[in-house]
Amino acid sequence: MQSASPSGGHFELTAVPAMAWQRTRAGIPAGALWSSLIVFLLVLTIARSTVAASWVPGLLDSLPMVALAGAVTMGVLALTPLPWWLSVLAGLLAGPAVAGLIAAPIFRADNVIDPTATGANLINAWLTKVSDGSAFGDRAFVLFLITWLMWVTGAWLSWCVLRWRQPMIGLVPGTAALATNVLNFPGDQNGYTLSFIVLTFALLLWSNYTGSIAKAVRVNMKLMGDARWDFWETGVVAMAGLLLLAIMLPPLSNQDRTLTIQSSLFSSWAQLQEQLNHPSSAGQGTGTAGGTTGFSLSVGLGGPLKTSKNPVFTYTVVGTFPGPKYFRGANITETENGYWTYPTFPVDWQATIAKGQSPEYGEDYSPMALALFRINMVSPPRGSGDVLFYPGQFFSVDRSTVASEVHASPDTVTSSSLYTVDKLSVFNPSRSNGAYSITVGYPDVSEDELRAAGSDYPAWILPYMTVRTTGYRPNDTLTRIHDLAVSLVKNTTNQYDAANAIQAYLRGDLFRYTLTPRLPDRGQDPLDFFLFNSHEGYCQYYATAMGDMLRSLGIPVRLVNGYGPGSYSTSTGLYTVHDSDAHTWVEAYFPKYGWIPFEPTNDHEQTWNPIQRKTQTVPLCLRDNLCVPGGTPSASGSPRVGGAPGFQEPNGPSGDGTTGFTLKSLDAGTVTRIAGGLLALILIVFGVVARYLRPRTVMGVWKRTLMLARLAGTRLQPGETPLELSRRLSSVFPEAASAVRDVARGFVVAAYAPPDLAPSARTPVLEAWVALRPLMLRRVARRLRPHRA
């Protein structure tokens, strides 16, 4: 029987992948393979950055595969002869479909939708949530948008690079996504930022190079021998310089203005829908229809609140502030129509305070600890764009301001005399945008001192001690609230313990913090429903309950609307306060010590904690000691702006460390700078070497030939002529024989021929060097890595 196989032949399965790869690579246009690789790496970098940002915790792990799938899909379409509009349309339609498939299970689970519901049912339910504004706070909707963005990032970049040869246009959505991640979650983005910068420069260089070569081929232009070498030498050096600038220069902004616009848009949309759906709820506060988190001049007991992440301001502290970092916007003193509010009627007193000056107060509280807050107002709250926010008691600010006092004392005798600043507003200009430094004080007193403060209240405090019996709440509700307060304080003997008892009751396990509280039946008072039925609500419910109970007992109290401490970033050294940090708390008045804050809200997540009294063990900047906060370095640690990389305060962002600096382990930002600097140094060295290997004279070519030959293992022998050396190099390096001979002959002519003939050797020698250089570099590399030979 004869064999059907070719004589002497055999078939190797191992050759199949290599053959397939060679055919695939041969079918891809020149340069597209490397372009695709850089695109895929860029897309993965942006997607992994978004996963690290954790916009929707635990649900973004699929983003890298989505972005890569979009890049591969549009990359394949870009290399096909299909019309561009058809390919782009296919990519646009695929994006929301993929995002919908990924987000649909979460949407079903969060909204209790029948698992058997059709796609049309899901779309209809989603459109309903978009129309009423609730979708913007839905994690499934956020997941859908981010997944769609990642598909667009990969698909658009791949298409623009491989089909349109326009990488700058393709980078737009991905750059916007990465910038949003970096500005909002800078702590985990250093590596992704460096990778993005390097890959972006590489993509732009490679795209420019391949585009230039393609144009030269189309017009039959012959490139000079060192044209390619010149391009990469210049490109690499420029890349190193730009990389150093990118990682060493300070950022243009620490705030995400894109996110501000987006958040404001979403909040405005939701608020507009609320007003359209509930016309009666328009006005200040949340009313009964709910709204979004943010600052307001009223304390409404409304319906569900939607969280807004709009950044409002950033701040740092100079010195130690012993009180809570609760930023006062307005003291809420009046009660009407079931809620507390800042008055709509003209206040009793307003005093103009010059820049850097302190108001004259009618009472002096002691001991008063001072601190300096440096605040940068990024996005003032809507409707209160002139309000300055600060913790504690106001002393001075580097702005011209107007201090408003709702209830002025009858014995006020001068235009600058104030007993309290219920709202601090700026004028000329009348917007609080930008940076301001404000000095504030806090009465650092102990619990025993507050217990002994007594109840000898001055006359001006009387409006804060009583509950309105008409136009506020039903009388039976006021009676029930008073009776509850009496039962809670029956075992106390002073005002401080009474306030603490009510605070402890509201912070107990009976009550549950939620932004989506149940609403009372029509006609039922919302506070009555909160205290005696639902026991669930947000900070406005807790503060209103404590305020009403204290006033029913004759204890002077007011509510305060403002913001909580915000979140600290180790990479920027700043606290950032968002709309979601908006808060309402309680302040009670104690003779000799003034207004002391209380925290009745307990979200059981350690966000709002009971306020500590005189527990500081570090030195304070006391007013009685004529201390000036910020005038000299504080003895205590506090977050700093622009501190030396790798150094941080001993106790981190709390600002309660000890004197001096402590060397800590390198932070992520410092590591990134070091890595970027090393990479830039490597690129600069590469550029220097490249410039050295591009001589402009015949003698320079000959010297570099001898140098490369020596590195490759062949040295010039004593007494050996250039032609003799070329013959020996030709035998040692046979692949370079022709180029070596041309260089040697040209050198002989340039060195020994008559002056009128010597210049003619330059051009042939430089052309021969272009051919010889890569061959000799490969020989040097083989000698340095013999195992790869």
**Pair (206, 282) in one structural domain:** no
Q: What is the pLDDT of residue 322?
A: 85
- Rounded distance between C-alpha atoms, residue 392 and residue 733, angstroms: 82
DSSP 534: I
**Structural domain includes residue 668:** no
Q: Read off the pLDDT of residues 357-388 as tens digits, 9 standing for 90 and up.
A: 998 888 888 778 889 999 999 889 988 999 99
- Rounded distance between C-alpha atoms, residue 161 and residue 207, angstroms: 8
Q: What is the pLDDT of residue 543?
A: 97
The SS3 call for residue 597 is strand
**Pair (464, 373) in one structural domain:** yes
The last residue of one of the domains, among 199, 227, 257, is 257
At residue 634, does pLDDT exceed 70? no
Q: Read off the pLDDT of residues 217-269 as tens digits, 9 standing for 90 and up.
A: 777 776 665 666 666 667 776 777 776 776 666 555 554 444 444 444 444 44
**Structural domain includes residue 639:** no
Kindly list the distances between the CA atom of residue 186 and the CA atoms of 53, 189, 569, 658, 732, in Å, as whole numbers in the listed order: 8, 5, 8, 27, 56
At residue 496, does pLDDT exceed 90? yes
Q: Could you tell me what percent of the chain has a pLDDT over 70?
A: 76
Q: Which amino acid, residue 214?
A: A
The SS3 call for residue 483 is helix
**Structural domain includes residue 733:** yes
Q: Read off the pLDDT of residues 279-332 as tens digits, 9 standing for 90 and up.
A: 333 333 333 445 778 899 999 898 888 888 788 999 999 888 888 999 999 999
**Pair (38, 129) in one structural domain:** yes
Which H/E stretch holds residue 513? strand 512-513
Q: What is the pLDDT of residue 154?
A: 94
Q: What is the pLDDT of residue 3?
A: 40
**Pair (279, 250) in one structural domain:** no
- Rounded distance between C-alpha atoms, residue 188 and residue 434, angstroms: 27
User: First vs last Cα of the chain: how many Å apart?
Assistant: 45
- How many C-beta atoms surround the C-beta of residue 474 within 10 A? 13
Q: What is the pLDDT of residue 369?
A: 86
Full 3-state SS string of 161-230: HHCCCCHHHHCHHHHHHHHHHHHHCHHHCHHHHHHHHHHHHHHHHHHHHHHHHHHHHHCCCCCCCCHHHH
DSSP 655: S
**Pair (206, 266) in one structural domain:** no
The last residue of one of the domains, among 625, 655, 682, is 625
- Rounded distance between C-alpha atoms, residue 319 and residue 41, angstroms: 46
**Structural domain includes residue 688:** no
At residue 476, does pLDDT exceed 70? yes
**Pair (131, 203) in one structural domain:** yes
Residue 273: CATH number of its domain: 3.10.620.30
Kindly list the distances between the CA atom of residue 108 and the CA atoms of 60, 117, 119, 379, 516, in Å, as whole numbers in the listed order: 17, 9, 11, 35, 19
Instruction: Enumerate the β-bridge partners of residue 390.
Output: 328
User: Which residue spans within 632-785 are E strands per DSSP?
Assistant: 647-648, 662-663
Question: Residue 132 CA to chain centroid, in angstroms?
Answer: 28
**Pair (38, 142) in one structural domain:** yes
Q: What is the pLDDT of residue 259?
A: 43
**Pair (180, 316) in one structural domain:** no
Question: Residue 421 CA to chain centroid, in angstroms?
Answer: 34
- Of 184-193, 256-265, 387-396, the poorest mean pLDDT is in 256-265
**Structural domain includes residue 548:** yes
Measured at the CA of 229, the angle between CA 678 and CA 210, to 5 degrees, comes to 95
- Rounded distance between C-alpha atoms, residue 698 and residue 707, angstroms: 14
Q: What is the pLDDT of residue 444?
A: 84
- Rounded distance between C-alpha atoms, residue 228 and residue 210, angstroms: 10
**Pair (713, 620) in one structural domain:** no
**Structural domain includes residue 7:** no
The SS3 call for residue 377 is strand
**Structural domain includes residue 563:** yes
Q: What is the pLDDT of residue 638?
A: 35
pLDDT higher at 367 or 543: 543
Q: Read off the pLDDT of residues 399-421 as tens digits, 9 standing for 90 and up.
A: 999 999 998 876 654 545 789 99
The last residue of one of the domains, among 257, 292, 315, is 257
Q: Which tokens hold the place of 590? A: 């104690």
**Structural domain includes residue 112:** yes
pTM of the predicted model over 0.85: no
Kindly list the distances between the CA atom of residue 218 and the CA atoms of 30, 214, 228, 555, in Å, as whole numbers in the listed order: 13, 6, 17, 88
Confidence band (pLDDT; 50, 70, 90) for 19? low
Specify burial of residue 702 (Cβ count, 10 A radius: 0-12, 13-18, 19+). buried
Specify burial of residue 231 (Cβ count, 10 A radius: 0-12, 13-18, 19+). middle
**Pair (250, 265) in one structural domain:** no
At residue 544, does pLDDT exceed 80? yes
At residue 619, does pLDDT exceed 90? no
Q: Read off the pLDDT of residues 51-99 as tens digits, 9 standing for 90 and up.
A: 888 777 677 889 999 999 999 999 999 988 899 999 999 999 999 999 9
The SS3 call for residue 595 is strand
Phi, psi of 291, deg, nearest 5? 160, -145
Domain hosting 67: range is 25-236+246-257
- Number of separate domains in the chain: 3
pLDDT higher at 199 or 111: 199
Give the ranges where 466-553 is alpha helix by DSSP (H): 475-488, 495-506, 526-529, 539-552
Q: What is the pLDDT of residue 16?
A: 52
Q: What is the pLDDT of residue 451?
A: 95
**Pair (201, 327) in one structural domain:** no
Kindly list the distances between the CA atom of residue 329 and the CA atoms of 297, 459, 625, in Å, as whole numbers in the listed order: 8, 25, 29
User: Sign of the CA dihedral 760, 762, 765, 770?
Assistant: negative
**Pair (273, 212) in one structural domain:** no
Instruction: Enumerate the β-bridge partners of residue 574.
Output: 569
